[in-house]
Amino acid sequence: MKKEWLSYQNGYRRILSRLTSSTSESSDRGSVLYARKGGGKAWMQPLLHGENKFVWPNSAREIRVSSIDNPALATFCEPVEKANSSHSFTAGLAHSVGLRNQPLRVYSMVKYAAIARGDAEIYMKFARAGYKEKIWDHAAGVLIIEEAGGVVTDAGGQPLDFSKGEYLEGLDRGIIACAGAKLHETIIGAVDASWNSSSL
């Protein structure tokens, strides 16, 4: 088994255990996170309820981003796939801002869910040259983080624009999602210095 798969499985289990209640009868079946744009709240509830039914009684609970704003205490997420993202650049940036924890490498929307739930504080993705980010990989996660109190922009500090087709056109270098504005400013401020010394 590949080393990165072992890392993924351990990271996935770590996040999954936080995304579901251990007392939930559907704890191994997943959760649904949702929000309404402009609502100022995000919610989470089990995917299935008793006897594997999709009947959703009012069991949702509000989720909020973490209050951690010290990089030394923050947990950060990055993609598992190395083909379309630069782990080496992210590692250098993480070191430059004082992130001490190992990255949590997980697939798909789990990164956004972890931040919205308060289980991680930072998501960084810097695509390799030529790779185009697809809007469906980010739109729902961005909305949920923002409504849960977080901040998501491109690496230049500009909001992501989902209105120009299937790709995130005009994306400045990468995507930064953080639990709060202070942490976000710290990461954005370090991007330029790290970028200028990188080979991306």
Question: How does pLDDT run across 147-183, given as a tens digit for each residue?
Answer: 999 999 999 999 999 999 999 988 888 999 999 999 9
Per the CB < 8 A criterion, the answer to whether 179 and 66 are in contact is yes
Helix boundaries (H) for the chain: 3-19, 87-97, 110-117, 139-147, 181-196
pLDDT score, position 25: 47
Per the CB < 8 A criterion, the answer to whether 176 and 123 are in contact is yes
**Binding positions for Mg(2+):** 137
The 10s digit of each residue's pLDDT in 101-119 is 888 888 888 999 999 999 9
pTM recorded for the entire structure: 0.81
* Domains parsed from the chain with CATH numbers: 3-63 (no CATH), 71-196 (3.40.190.80)
**Binding positions:** 137
User: 3-class SS at 126?
Assistant: strand
H/E segment holding residue 104: strand 104-105
Question: Considering only 14-23, 116-125, 139-148, 164-173, which range has the smallest mean pLDDT?
Answer: 14-23
Residue type, 71: P
Here the tokens at position 36 are 């309404």
pLDDT score, position 87: 81
Asked whether the predicted pLDDT for residue 57 surpasses 70, the reply is no
| Separation CA 141–CA 117 (nearest Å) | 11
Asked whether the predicted pLDDT for residue 95 surpasses 80, the reply is yes
User: 3-class SS at 167?
Assistant: strand
